[in-house]
Structure 1
Amino acid sequence: MRLTRAAACRSLVGCALALTLTAPALAQQPRTVLDLAAQQKNLSTFVAAVHTAGLDDTLKAAGPITVYAPTDAAFAKLSDADRSALLSDAARLKAMIMASMTPNLVVMHDGDTWVTSGSIASAAGKDIVFGTEGERTTVDGAHVVQSDLRADNGCVTTVDKVLLP
């Protein structure tokens, strides 16, 4: 296919305009912990729980915050009755989320080093305990699925179990 000079110029101008219009959108990628969690396909239940619990502003706060967010598969491991009871109770959801986050930046993996032991206080005042099970890092007994998803106000580490208080 051959383009005339005019068509080629229109095409280049169109591309330049598209880049100009989309560049601000690219520069404004969601950067809070909540926005980052909402971008993850496997955290839709967790994000809905945050909304139900009324903790949107907490996860959008200046930080630093680290959230150990259970994946959708983690919620699916709960019995239907337990999952339904939890997801319909704003107070229980708030307690679960506050017990799954800390008002600190905790980077699970730094270069060749992983956090393999220790604990840190959660936002609910309960200790979040780090450990290992075989070659896998654990958070309160839950396996880390993906660590250190960074946002401007902290990070999200996904886990394979709902961390109940």
Structure 2
Amino acid sequence: MKSFRPVVAALSLVLASAATAQTSSLVNNSTRGVAGSGANAMISGFVVNAPAGQLRWVLIRGVGPTLSTFGVASPLADPAIQVTASGGTVIGVNDNVATAPNLPLLNTVSAGVGAFPLTSANDAALLIGVPAGAYTVQLHTNAATEARPALLEVYEFGAVAPNGVSQSISGLAASNANLSTLATALRITGLDATLSAGGPFTVFAPTNAAFAALPPATLNSLLANPAQLAQVLLFHVASGQVLSSQLTNGQNVTTLRTGARPLVVNLTGGVKIDAANVVAADVRGLNGVVHVIDSVLLP
């Protein structure tokens, strides 16, 4: 009997070469189904391929009311979408397309990809820039109604220009390897969803090394107590967008931690927030700005 091993080996080599040379990508995926609240959410996933350090624009839409213009009876009245990175951090949330922070660009990209216009403000849509990785989208409703027809769409629309503002604050943390501990802390407390919507916010973001410098007992206690951890994280967040050029020596910064003392800005010999050095300033997000610091701020 003839051996087929050389043929199999050759075929494997061809397939491996073809996979290595693959440069095309799926630019759109649309799924119509039935979505509701809670466990009745519609869930889909997508994977983005991009060179290290680059982002790809992704347009995500949760369509409900507009489906009635296509003859769909009783579609989902108030869809909402949530995008989660592979680590579990929520990086994008929208419940009303009109509230998207980059709405003009979102509309331009929607037309560019050939997506049909949304005729209702209650439809949901997001345009975010994401690095290579796997992502999950949930389409659900915040209304207490039964599950109804809805359409979940994902479009890829090319590379984000360098230094382009394209991610929520939670997205910035989730995509930066040096802020992975912060991203984990945001996820544990549920503040990742808060910092993916609304704002604008100013966030003083401790590095992984900053968290690692905490006494082990302190860090373990915080990670084991999400409510306490949330209060520490809120001590790093201020309402409104404050750029480094707007900071003044001796300035007090009121944080979102209720009843906490203000943070104090010190511009002598560099920029400090309390005793923490600002090691990277003015990292822009869709809903605010991040200043990376080298220490965890404790109330």
TM (norm. structure 1) is 0.78
Map of 1:10 onto structure 2: none
CA distance in 2, matches of 1:34, 1:91: 18
Contact 1:109 1:147 in 2 (8 A): no
Matched with 1:18 is: 24
After TM superposition, give the deviation of residue 98 of structure 1 in Å. 0.7
More helix by share: 1
Aligned partner (choices 37, 57, 82) of residue 173 of structure 2: 37
- Identify, as 1 or 2, the structure richer in strand: 2
Pairing partner for 1:89 from 200, 225, 231: 225
Deviation (angstroms), 1:19: 7.9
Q: 1:58–1:19: structure 2 CA closer, same or farther, 3 Å change rule? A: same
In the alignment, what sits opposite 2:267? 132
Deviation at 1:120, TM superposition (A): 1.9
> Is 2:57 the counterpart of 1:27?
yes
Rg comparison, structure with higher value: 2
The 5-angstrom pairing of residues 105-124 of structure 1 reads 105-109=241-245, 115-124=248-257
- CA distance in 1 between counterparts of 2:289 and 2:175 reads 13
Alignment of 1:154 with 2:288, yes or no, is yes
Could you say what secondary structure the match of 1:27 adopts? Answer: strand
**In the TM superposition, what whole-angstrom CA distance separates every residue of 1:86-109 from its partner, at most 9, and x where no partner exists?**
122101110011111011101114
Distance 2:251 2:223 in 1: 30
Shift of 1:75: 0.7
**Of residues 276, 294, 297 in structure 2, which corresponds to 1:142?**
276
Q: Deviations over 1:32-89 (max 9, x none)?
A: 0000111111111111111111112211122101111111000111111111111221
Per-residue Cα deviation, 1:114-152 (whole angstroms, up to 9, x for no partner): 64431221011431211134x221012111111111011
Where do 5+ consecutive residues of structure 2 fail to align?
1-20, 28-48, 59-128, 131-166
Query: What is the one-letter code of the residue matched to 1:91?
Result: A
For residues 33-112 of structure 1, the aligned pairs below 5 Å read 33-109=169-245
- How far apart, CA to CA, are the structure 1 residues paired with 2:224 and 2:172? 24
Higher relative contact order (CA 8 A, sep 6+): 1
Matched residues, number: 146
Report SS of the residue matched to 2:188. Answer: helix
Displaced runs of 4 or more, over 3 A: 17-23, 114-117
SS at match of 1:161: coil
Structure 2 distance, partners of 1:115, 1:48, is: 31
The amino acid across from 1:131 in the alignment is: N
